[in-house]
Structure 1
Amino acid sequence: MSRLLVVEDDPDIALALRLLLQRAGHQVGHAKDGRAGLRDAFNERPELVILDIGLPGMDGWQVLERLRDISDVPVLLLTAHGQESDKVRGLRGGADDYLTKPFTNAELVARVEALLRRSGTTASWADEVYDDGTLRIDPAARRAFVADAEVRLTPTEFRLLNVLVRHAGAVLSPNQLLAQAWDDPTGIGPERVKFAVLRLRRKLGWTDPDASPIESVRGFGYRYRRPPAAA
C-alpha cells in the first residue's frame, strides 16, 4: 500500500479521487489548499502527490516550486487546461507527469501506478558505483557527487544521469531516454527530456553548453562526455 497525497480544493473531485485510489489499494490523504498540502507533504512524507493547479491562494505552480525545494516526491499535476504552455511549465518546474481534466478513472490509476513503479525501480545494470574523477554516482544510495560535493537530485533526474553516464560516449535519443529513465516512451517526450536535462545541468553546475559533460547533439539527442583523463 502506497501513501498518496491529493491536493485539491474541489470537495467532490477530492472525494472521488480518494475513493478511486483507495479502491486501487492506496492510502490517500487530502489537503484542500496549497499551504495545507505543503505541510502534509512535509509531515506525512507521501510516496506521490497529486496536485491540482487551480488552487485558491497559493496555486499549484507555487506549491510545486516550494515542494521541489523540500522533497523529490513524484508529482502528478491535474489541470482543467490542456495548453502546451502549461505542460511545458509543469515539466520545467519539476513535475513528473501531467493530466488534463476530464480524465478517465483508468487513466489516472495507470499514471499513478506508473509513477510509483518508476520512483521505486532502478535497473540492475546500474548498481555499481561510477566514478570518472569529475562525477561520482552511487546507485544503491541514490547519491551523486560533483568534485566531491553532493548534489541533490529527484528520482527522475538521478535515473536520467545514471543512464547517460552508463552509456558514456553514445548519443541517446529522447525516446531512448524516456524508455530507460522514465520507462515511458510515449507522450510529449522531447519536451520532457529537454527540460529534465536543463534542470540536471543546472543542479550539477554545468550550465555552459559548450563545457558541459552532458552534450546536446542537434537532431539526435544527448550524450555524456567523460573527462579526458577518464576517457
Structure 2
Amino acid sequence: MTRILAIEDEPDIALALRMLFERGGYGFELATNGRVGLRTVHDVRPDLVVLDVGLPEMDGWTVLERVRDFADVPILMLTAHGEESEKVRGLRGGADDYLTKPFNNNELLARVEALLRRARATGRTADRIGSGVYDDGVVRIDRRIRQVEVEGRPVDLTRTEFRLLNVLVQHAGAVLSPSQLLEQVWDDPTGIAPERVKFAVLRLRRKLGWASDASPIAAVRGVGYRYRPPA
C-alpha cells in the first residue's frame, strides 16, 4: 500500500488529510511537529510527504532541507501564504510541489497522484542508468554500488542527485537544457518546472564541495548546464 506522511500540527487539517487519503486507499501516517516528522521519514520511508510550512519548534523549511540530505521522497508543501518568494524558496529547498491553504481536496489528490506517478517513473529512469564505473580523475562514479567520490572523498547523494550527476557526466562537454534534464533525470517531458533543475544543480554542487565559479558543472546562460571533465 502506498504510504503518505503528513507533517501537520493543525488538528482540523490533519483530520481532513487523514480522511481524504484513507478514503483514497492510501496508508496514512501523521507527525505533529518537525522533529517527529524527520524521524518518521527515516523510519517509515513513506512514498510521499505532505509538509506544512508553519510547524512549531522546527519549521517546514528546516524539515525540507534535512529530509533532502538523505531522501528523495516526493514532498508537497502546504502553506498559508501564496507569495512567489515562498514558492521559489520551496523549489530551492527541494520541494516537488506547493499548495496554498485552504486547498481544494480534489486538487490536492490530483497533485499527489501526479507526484507519485512521477516518482514511479523516475525509479524506472534510475534502472536505465546501467552499471559500470566512470572516473575522470576528479569524479568517480561506481554505478554498481551507487557510490560517488570527488578527489577520493566519498559523497553521499540522494537518488535524484545521483541521477543528475550521471546524466551530466554521460554527456560531458555537451550543454543540456533544463527541459532535457527534466526529461532524463525526473522523467518529466513536459518541462514545466525548470526552476527545479536550477536548485537541484545548486544542491549537487554544494554536496560535491564545488563553488559555482570553480565547479565542473557549469551554467551556460540562457541555454542550460554542462559538465566539464578535467583536461
Structure 1's unaligned 5+ residue stretches are none
CA contact (8 A) 1:48 1:116 kept: no
Q: What is the TM-score of this pair, normalised by structure 2? A: 0.85
In the other structure, the counterpart of 1:121 is: 124
Q: C-alpha displacement at 1:14, in angstroms?
A: 2.1
Pick aligned residue for 1:180 from 154, 159, 184: 184
Pick aligned residue for 1:200 from 200, 204, 211: 204
Query: What amino acid sits opposite 1:152 in the alignment?
Result: D
Query: What amino acid sits opposite 1:122 in the alignment?
Result: T
Answer with 211-220 or 142-151: which moved more.
142-151
1:155 correspondence with 2:120 = no
Query: What amino acid sits opposite 1:180 in the alignment?
Result: Q
CA contact (8 A) 1:206 1:212 kept: yes
In the other structure, the counterpart of 1:50 is: 50
Q: Secondary structure at the match of 1:113?
A: helix
Query: What amino acid sits opposite 1:60 in the alignment?
Result: G
Query: What amino acid sits opposite 2:96 in the alignment?
Result: D
How many residues get paired? 226
Q: Secondary structure at the match of 1:51?
A: strand
CA contact (8 A) 1:24 1:109 kept: no
CA contact (8 A) 1:77 1:90 kept: yes
Query: What amino acid sits opposite 2:86 in the alignment?
Result: D
Q: C-alpha displacement at 1:52, in angstroms?
A: 0.9
1:139 correspondence with 2:139 = no
CA–CA distance in structure 1, aligned partners of residues 121 and 78 of structure 2: 19
Residues 44, 136 of structure 1: alpha-carbon distance in 2 compared, 3 angstrom cutoff: same
In the other structure, the counterpart of 1:76 is: 76
Pick aligned residue for 2:115 from 112, 119, 123: 112
Q: What is the TM-score of this pair, normalised by structure 1? A: 0.85
Q: C-alpha displacement at 1:144, in angstroms?
A: 1.6
Pick aligned residue for 1:226 from 204, 212, 229: 229
Query: What is the aligned-residue identity percentage?
Result: 61
Structure 2's unaligned 5+ residue stretches are none
CA–CA distance in structure 2, aligned partners of residues 62 and 136 of structure 1: 31
- What is the RMSD computed on CA atoms of the aligned residues? 2.3
Residues 125, 116 of structure 1: alpha-carbon distance in 2 compared, 3 angstrom cutoff: closer
Q: Secondary structure at the match of 1:128?
A: coil
Residues 217, 149 of structure 1: alpha-carbon distance in 2 compared, 3 angstrom cutoff: same
Q: C-alpha displacement at 1:73, in angstroms?
A: 3.5
